[in-house]
Structure 1
Amino acid sequence: MKKKKINKESKQKESKDSSAKHKSSKVSGGKHKHPGASHRGVIDITRSGMGYVTVVDMERDVIVRPQHFNTALHGDTVEVQITKSGGGGGRVEGEIVRIIERKQTQFIGRISIQKNYSFFIPETDRPMPDLFIPTDKLNGAVNNDKVVVKLTSWDKAKRVPEGEVLELVKQEAENDIAMKQILLGAGFNLSFDDEVMEQAERFPDGVSDAEAKKRRDFRDVLTFTIDPVDAKDFDDALSIKKNANGLYEIGVHIADVSYYVEPGTKLDDEAYARATSVYLPDRVLPMLPERISNELCSLRPKEDKYTFSAVFQMTDKGEIKDVWLGRTVIHSNHRFSYEQVQEIIEAGGEGLYGDEIMLLNTLAQKMRKERFKKGAINFSSQEVRFVLDENRKPIGITIKESKEAHQLIEEFMLLANKHVAEFIGKITVKEKPVPFPYRVHDTPDEAKLGPFMVFAKKYGHTFDVSSPQRIAESFNQMLKDAHGKPEQHVLEALGIRTMAKAVYTAENIGHYGLGFEHYCHFTSPIRRYPDVLVHRVLQQCLDKQPQIDKKMEAKCKHCSERERSAMESERAANKYKQVEYMSQFLGEEFEGVVSGVASFGFWVETVAHKCEGLVSLFSLSDFDDFRHMEEDYCLVGKRSGRSFRMGDKVTIKVVAANLEKRQLDYELVLGHIDSTEKKVLQPTKFQHPKKKRGKK
C-alpha cells in the first residue's frame, strides 16, 4: 500500500482564561509576519476577551485585540491582516478584515424586553455581544424567556448584531438545553431555514414512470433492509437472486439522495454546511430535512424508491465475477432489525427469508475472513447506549457488540465502497485523476507505535515493523493472542490510539485499517455529504463526462472537519449522560478498570456502567508520592512502588458529578488489594485522605 503523509491541520486546544498557550511558539518565515500581509485562519477568543488567530503556515498565533474583531465570533474562519510584525521578540498582532465562515449562527440565551427595544443575552463561555431583536422577530417570546436565536445580520457600521427568535426553550428540560448547547457550540444549527424546508416539501411522493425507465429495475427482485430497531432513515438495502448460470446476483442499493439534492440549491448548500448528521444519545440532528431523510429517500418497506446501486455477480464461495454500477429503482419487501436477523442466523435459517439471509451471511463471513487475511486490522467494537425515560434522562445502560447480523451489512457496504473507489480510480481527465473524495487512512503514527510496541512486549507480544503489511499482521496476532486475557482491554485501547485518523481527501493513499488500496464512502448519503459527492462523480463517470472539480480537496477538508465536530459533540453528549446517570450513585462504590493515565491522575471506567471518572493525584497524595511513567502508561508510587496502569482493576467511590463541566470524580477505595502485587494501599499518614479533587 502506498505510504504518503497527509498534511496535518494544526489542532486548536480548548482555550483557558489566559494567553499561556500562545506564548511558546515562534513565527516562521518573514513574509508571513510582514505588516499588511493577510492570512486565513480560525479565531480563538479566550474567556478574558483576547483573540488569537491560528494560521496553518505560521507557528505562532496572531494576537487580535477586541476592538479589531470586526464582528468575528469565537471559532469563525477569518481573514486576518498583520498590523505589527513582532520584531525584536514581540508578538505578531493583526486585525480581522473579513469573516470567511461563521462557525456558529444560532445561540441559546435569554430575552430582555424593555419599553422600546429587546435584546438577546447569549449564554456562552466566550465573550460576544448581545443581539438586538426587532419586535416582529420575537416570535411570541416574553421577557426573561430562554430561547434559541439566529444571528441574521451584523453590519460593521452597526453597533450591535441583529437576530430573530427561532424557538422557546422549556425551562424544566435542563438536559435538553445541554444537548442543544453542545450542538450549537460545535456549529450545527438546530433547525433548517424556511427556504430549505420549502424546497424539501416540493418533491412529489413516489416514483415516476419516466424516471423509472431511465434506471435498471429491481422491483421484482427480493430486497430487504437491515437496520437498528429505532432507525427511521433506511439508506441501504440488499437484493438477492440466483441466475440461470448458477451465480448469485447480490445488489447493494443505496438511497439516491443526489437525485433530490442538486448542486447550487439551498438544500444542497445546507447539506454541505452540515456535512453530516449528528447522533447524540437522545436525538439525531439530521443533515437533511426529514422530508428527504425519513420519507423520500428512506428505503421503507412496500414502497418504490430511487437508488444508486452496486450489483455483484458472485459464486457461492464469494468470488466476484462481475460488477455493475448505476442508478436503479427498487421495492423493499421487508424491513429487518439487526436483532431479528441475528435470531434467524442463530436459528440456522428459520424465519422469513431465512435461506437468503443464511447465504448472505455465509458470503459476508468469507469476505470478512479474506479481508483480515489481506491485512485489515481486526479491532473489536462495543457500542454503549443509554436507556432513557420519557424525559430523556438515563435510567440504564446497554452494551451492544458487533454480531454476525451487523457484520453481514458491514461487509457488503465495504464491498460496495471499495468497488466504487476502484472504478473511479481508473478514470483520468487530461491525464490526471478525477477529483474524488476518497476515504483514506494512513499507516500508524511512528511516534506512538514505538512506545506501544515496548509496552506490548511486556505481555509477550512482538511486532514485525519491516512493512505496513507486517505491522497489520502483528496487530492481528496480538489481538488474537490477547483475546479473553486481562490485558485485552488495555492493548486494544492503546493500539487504537497509535492509529492515524481516517479522513476525506482527493489524494488517494489507500485505507490502511481496512487493507484497501481504494476506498470511499458511497453507502450513507442520507447522513454523510461525502457520499453525495461520490454519487455525483460516479454518475459523471458512468456518463463518460467526468469533470474537474478544483474545489474537491477543500470540500473534503470541510467534510473531515465537520465529521470531527460531530464526533466531539457525540463524545460530549455521551459524557453528559454518563454524569447525569452516575449522579444517582454519589457515595457508592463500584468495581472499575483504569482506562487512562496522566500526570495529574488516572481515569477509571466502571465495569457495570462503562462510565469514566477521574481519580486525581491530589486525592492520592496522603498515600504516596506518585509519578507519571509515560512510557509504561502508569503512575508509580515513589515510596511503595504501587502502580496504577491502564487495564488494572480497582474499586472506586463516586464522590462528585458535575453536569456543567461534564465531569465525574472518583476516589480510590481505602484498603484496595491489588490482585497482582497483593499490596494493600493504605495512607502513609495517620489521617483520612482529604476529599479534594483535581481537575480533568
Structure 2
Amino acid sequence: MVKKKKKKFRQKKQSGTYNKKKLKSAILSILYETPGKTINYRQISGMIGIQDPETRKLINVVLIELAEDGSLDQISRGKYKLKAKTGTATGIVEMQPKGFAYVNSDELDQPVLISSSNLNHAMSGDKVRIHVYARRKKHDLEGEVTEILERAKTVFVGTIQVSRNFAFLIPTGKVGFDIFIPKEKLNGAKDGQKVIAEIIDWPAKARSPFGEVLEVLGDTGDNDAEMHAILAEFELPHIFPANVDKAAEKIPLEIPEEEIKLRRDMRKTTTFTIDPIDAKDFDDALSLKKLSNGNWEIGVHIADVTHYVRPNTIIETEAQNRATSVYLVDRVVPMLPERLSNGVCSLRPNEDKLCFSAVFEMTENATLKKQWFGKTVIHSDRRFTYEEAQEVIETGEGDFSSEILTLNDLAIKLRDERFGSGSIAFDRVEIKFEIDDKGKPLSVYFKEAKESNKLIEEFMLLANKKVAEFVGKTPEKKTPKTFVYRIHDKPDPDKLVAFNTFIKRFGHDIQLSTPRAIATSLNKLLKDVQGKSEQNVVETLAIRSMAKAAYSTRNIGHYGLSFDYYSHFTSPIRRYPDMMVHRLLEKYLSGGRSANEQKYEDLCKHSSDMEAKAANAERASIKYKQVEFMQDHIGKIYPGTISGVTDWGIYVELENKIEGMIPIAELDDDFYIFDEKNYALVGRHSHNTYQLGEKINVKVWRTNLERKQLDFRLSKAETP
C-alpha cells in the first residue's frame, strides 16, 4: 500500500516542470513533514519523483541556496536538515499601497500579513524577524515585526517642505512616512527643492524618523534635478568622485610597442563597429576574413577593459560598486569614467585598440569549425550606426557591403539554428523620446530591432555562449572551475497554467509537457499573435510568466536562449560581470587554478541587484517623461488597451505605448470586484467586465509628475 501511494505521489509530482522557486517550495514542504530528517539531493529527487539529470542538478543548487539563506542547516557535505522551527521567521518586507505589508520568508509556505501598526518602523525591502501568530482558519497568516535585521535603505530622495522651525522630506515612491528634518540639518535646502536625506534616528514612539539633508539636487521640475532624483531614489550615483576621474585621466591612450608584441595582431583584418547613433562607448567590433580553405574567419573583438582597470585600484572599486552603466531617457550614467568608457577603451575607428577576442572559423552554412580566445590588437576601419548598416543590408551597396552582407547571411543561419533548438523569440518594441535641450519631451517614437541589430546580437550571443562552454563544459566527474554565468530559470509552472487558461479565450494554446515543448509552442504563439488585437496583452503576459535572468557561479543554463552554458563577455565597458568573465578566462587560458567561488558568487549577487536597480531607474525615467509629455494632452480622448488589472484600478496603454490608470473610484456605475484568476474587474450587480486586453476609450484626466502618475477616466465619446 505504502509503495503504491509513493508511486502515485511521484507520478503526480513528475508531471510538473520545476524551476528554482517551485523546487524550494517542494523541498521545504517535504522537510516540514519530517523536520528531524537529514537528506541529500538524491533522496529529494526520489521523494519528488525527479529523474532527469538537469532538474536533479538544480536540486543541488537549491539546497545550497536554502542553506545560505538560513532555511536549512548543512550537517555535512551535501547533507541538509531543516532549521529548528519556532514561532519566529525571517523575511523581506513588501509594502502594499494601503499601508500594510507582507513579509516573504523561505521558512514559511505563504507570505505573512503585517498590519501597519505591527510593522514597528520596518520599511519596504528590510530584512526582519517576525513573530507569527497562531493560524486562524480561512485567514491569511498574520504576525508582527519583532526586530529589523537589515535596513534595505536609510537614504531617501524627495521634496523638502520647510516651515518656520523645522522641515519634512516627502519621499518619492512607495514610502509610508515623511522624514522630520530639524532646521539646522537642512544643509541649505529651500522649500520645494529636490534633496537627498538620510535617516539618523527613529525613536520608538515617534511617528516619523529624524533625518538630515545630505545633498540638494535642485528645483522641482528642473530636468537635471529630476533625473538625479530618480538615480538617488534607486541608490545610484550621478557623478564620479574627483579622485576616480583624476586616476582615469592618468591612463595613457597610446599603446606601448612591447604590449602589441604580446598579442595576436589583427590590425590588417577588415574590422568595423555597428552601434546606436548616439553611442560613444564602443564595446565590440566584428572582423571578417576569407580563409584559403573557403571558410570564414569571424572575429568578435571586445574592449580589453581589465588591461586598464586593475584589481585593488579606486577605478576598480568604483566599477565594482556601480556594477553597470545606467541608461536614462536623456543620458547614460557610465560604470567607468568617461576617459575610459568613451576614450581609452572605446573601439573608435582609425585607432589601434587592445581587445579580448573570440575568433571563430565557420563554413558558408555557419557551421563552427574552430574557435580561439585570447588577447589581440585591432584597428577599426569604420564606425557604422545601426541605420547605416541596415541600409547596406537592404540596398546591397555602401562601405564594406560584401562583409556586412556575408555576416548578415551567417547571422540569419545562426539565428534559425538557435530558434530551432528552442530559443524563445521575444522582440519587444522600445519606447524613445525626442527631447529638446532642456530635457522636455517633444514627441514619442518606437524603436524596433532590425536585421543590423540582430546581426550584432547573434555574434555576441555566439561569443558569450562559447566562452561559457569553454570554461564550464568539462568531462564527466570533473568539477568545472569557478565562472560567472548568466542564468535564466525555467518559467513558474503555476503562472504558465494561468497564462494558458487566459489565452484559450483568444483561441490560442501552449504545450506544457516539457521545457522544450513550452519554448516551441511559445514561439508559435508569439508568431501567431503578430498583428492581432490581442498581440500586446499576450506578449506582456508571456514575459510576466518568465523568470528573471541573473548572474551566478552556479550554472543552471539559460532557458530563454535554450543554452546550457551562457555568460556575459561582450560588454565590459558597461557591465562588471563581463570584467569578471574576462579576468577568469584570462586566468584559465594561462592554466590558473579555480578562483574562490564564494567571492565571485557574492559579486554576482551584487551585480544582479544593481542591474535590477538600473532597470527600475530606467523605467522611472521613461514614466516621468511619459507623464511630462501628456501634461499637454489633458482632456484629450484616446483609444487604449487594458494592460493591467488590480483591486485599485485598471491600467490602460495607449497606442503610443504610454500607460496610465483609471482609479477604481472612477468606475462609479457599480461596485467592482477584482477577479484575479481572469485578470478582470467585474461589476457586482451589472456583471459589467473590464478585462486584460480589452479595447476601451479613455480621456486624459490628470498628471502628477512628482509621483510619475498619469490618470485616465473612461470615455464614451468616440476618438477623433
| Shared fold per TM-score greater than 0.5 | yes
Partners in 1 of 2:373 and 2:613 — Cα distance? 32
Give the 3-state SS of the residue equivalent to 2:601 in structure 1.
helix
- Residue of 566, 584, 587 corresponding to 1:537: 584
Is the CA contact (8 Å cut-off) linking 1:217 and 1:328 kept in structure 2? yes
Partner of residue 507, structure 1? 554
SS at match of 1:231: coil
CA contact (8 A) 2:195 2:229 kept: no
Say whether residues 1:266 and 2:280 are aligned partners: no
Aligned-residue Cα RMSD (Å) equals: 4.1
Deviation for aligned residue 1:67: 14
Match of 1:485 in 2: 532
| Aligned position for 1:353 | 400
- Map of 1:14 onto structure 2: none
Aligned to 2:714: 668
Distance 1:294 1:579 in 2: 32
5 Å-filtered alignment, 1:444-455, equals: 444-455=491-502
Which range moved further: 217-226 or 596-605? 596-605
Question: Which of 690, 693, 701 is the equivalent residue of 1:647?
Answer: 693
Matched, 1:325 2:373: yes
- My pick for the range that moved more, 427-436 or 489-498, is 427-436
Q: 2:262 aligns with which of 214, 222, 226?
A: 214
Render the CA deviation track for 1:442-471: whole Å, top value 9, x for unaligned: 222111111211222233323222211111
**Which residue of structure 1 aligns with residue 20 of structure 2?**
6
Q: Which residue of structure 2 aligns with residue 418 of structure 1?
A: 465
> Per-residue displacement from partner, 1:557-585 (whole Å, max 9, x unpaired)?
22111111111111121111111111111
Q: Which has the higher mean CA deviation after the structures are superposed, 261-270 or 361-370? A: 261-270
Distance 1:32 1:543 in 2: 49
What letter matches 1:512 in structure 2? Y
Matched, 1:394 2:408: no
Change (3 A) 1:85 1:44: closer
Contact 2:485 2:552 in 1 (8 A): yes
Distance change in 2, residues 1:540/1:604 (3 Å): same
Match of 1:314 among 335, 342, 362: 362
Residues 445-454 or 419-428, more deviating: 419-428
Q: Please point out which of 289, 311, 326 is paired with 1:241.
A: 289
**Aligned-partner Cα distance in 1 for 2:131–2:383:** 64
- Within 2, Cα distance between the matches of 1:589 and 1:615? 13
CA contact (8 A) 2:118 2:145 kept: no
Match of 2:676 among 630, 654, 669: 630
Q: 1:162/1:206 Cα in 2 relative to 1: closer, same or farther (>3 Å)?
A: farther
In structure 2, what residue type is equivalent to 1:525?
A: P
Alpha-carbon distance change, 603 to 9 in structure 1, aligned in 2, over 3 angstroms? farther
Please say if 1:364 is aligned against 2:411.
Answer: yes
Partner of 2:619: 571
Alpha-carbon separation, structure 2, partners of 1:443 and 1:522: 23
Deviates more, 1:586-595 or 1:643-652: 643-652
Which residue identity does 2:348 align to in structure 1?
A: R
Post-superposition offset of 1:237: 0.8
Paired positions, count: 630
**Structure 2 residue 390 is the aligned partner of structure 1 residue 342:** yes
SS in 1 for 2:506: coil
Q: Is contact 2:431-2:446 (8 Å) kept?
A: yes
| Structure 2: 5+ residue stretches without partners | 1-15, 25-70, 73-81, 136-141, 204-208
Q: Judge conservation of contact 1:111–1:147 (CA < 8 Å) in 2.
A: no
Aligned with 1:600 (options 636, 641, 648): 648
Provide, for residues 315-366 of structure 1, a one-character-per-residue CA deviation record: whole Å limited to 9, x for no partner: 121111111111111111111111111111111x201111111111111111
Tell me the distance in 2 between the aligned counterparts of 1:4 and 1:427: 25
Contact 2:189 2:195 in 1 (8 A): no
1:627 deviation in Å?
4.0
Instruction: Report the Cα offset of residue 499 of structure 1.
Output: 1.1
Q: Which moved more, 1:424-433 or 1:441-450?
A: 424-433
CA contact (8 A) 1:254 1:308 kept: yes
Do 1:312 and 1:323's aligned partners in 2 also have CA atoms closer than 8 Å?
A: yes
Matched position secondary structure for 2:340: helix
Say whether residues 1:465 and 2:512 are aligned partners: yes
Q: Which amino acid aligns with 1:533?
A: M
CA pair 132-369 structure 1, distance change in 2 beyond 3 A: farther
TM-score (norm 2): 0.77
Code of the residue aligned with 1:6 in structure 2: it is K
| 1:615 Cα deviation from its structure 2 partner | 2.0
Confirm or deny: 8 A CA contact 2:636 2:699 kept in the other structure: yes
List runs of 5+ in structure 1 lacking aligned partners: 11-26, 674-696
Distance 1:248 1:132, change over 3 A: farther
Tell me if the contact between 2:120 and 2:145 (Cα under 8 Å) persists in the aligned partners: no
Which secondary structure does the structure 1 equivalent of 2:302 belong to?
strand
* TM-superposed deviation, 1:534: 0.9
Aligned CA distance change for structure 1 residues 251 and 173 (closer, same or farther; 3 Å): same
The alignment status of 1:280 with 2:280, answered yes or no, reads no
**C-alpha separation between the residues in 2 aligned to 1:513 and 1:365?**
18
| Percent identical residues | 43
CA deviations over 1:494-515 (Å, ceiling 9, x no partner): 1111111111112211111111
What are the superposed Cα offsets for residues 420-444 of structure 1, whole Å, 9 maximum, x if unpaired? Answer: 1111113599943222221111222
- 1:456 is the counterpart of 2:470: no
Which amino acid is the alignment partner of residue 655 of structure 1? Answer: W
- How far is the alpha carbon of 1:50 from its aligned partner? 12
Distance (Å, rounded) in 1 between the aligned partners of 2:709 and 2:505: 33
> Aligned partners of 2:638, 2:456: CA distance in 1, in Å?
37
**Other-structure match for 1:520:** 567
Verify the 8 A CA contact 2:194 2:229 in the aligned structure 1: no
Corresponding letter in the other structure for 1:529:
Y
SS at match of 1:339: helix
| Corresponding residue for residue 244 of structure 2 | 196
Distance 1:153 1:643, change over 3 A: closer
Q: Distance in 2 between matches of 1:621 and 1:650?
A: 16
Contact 1:53 1:63 in 2 (8 A): no
The alignment partner of 1:205 has SS state of coil
> What does residue 10 of structure 2 align with?
none
Distance in 2, Cα, partners of 1:419 & 1:77: 39
Question: 1:214, 1:120 → 2: CA distance?
Answer: 62
Q: Which amino acid aligns with 1:643?
A: T
Distance in 1 of aligned mates of 2:99 and 2:645 = 33
Report the structure, 1 or 2, having the larger helix content: 2
Residues 121 and 204 of structure 1: CA distance in aligned 2, closer, same or farther (over 3 Å): farther
- Please show how residues 155-234 of structure 1 align to structure 2 within 5 Å: 169-171=217-219, 173-234=221-282
Q: In structure 1, give the amino acid aligned to 2:406.
A: L
Conserved in 1, the CA contact under 8 Å of 2:324 and 2:614? Answer: yes
Task: Name the counterpart of 1:18.
Answer: none
- Whether the 8 Å contact between 2:490 and 2:547 is mirrored in structure 1 is yes
Match of 1:656 among 695, 702, 718: 702
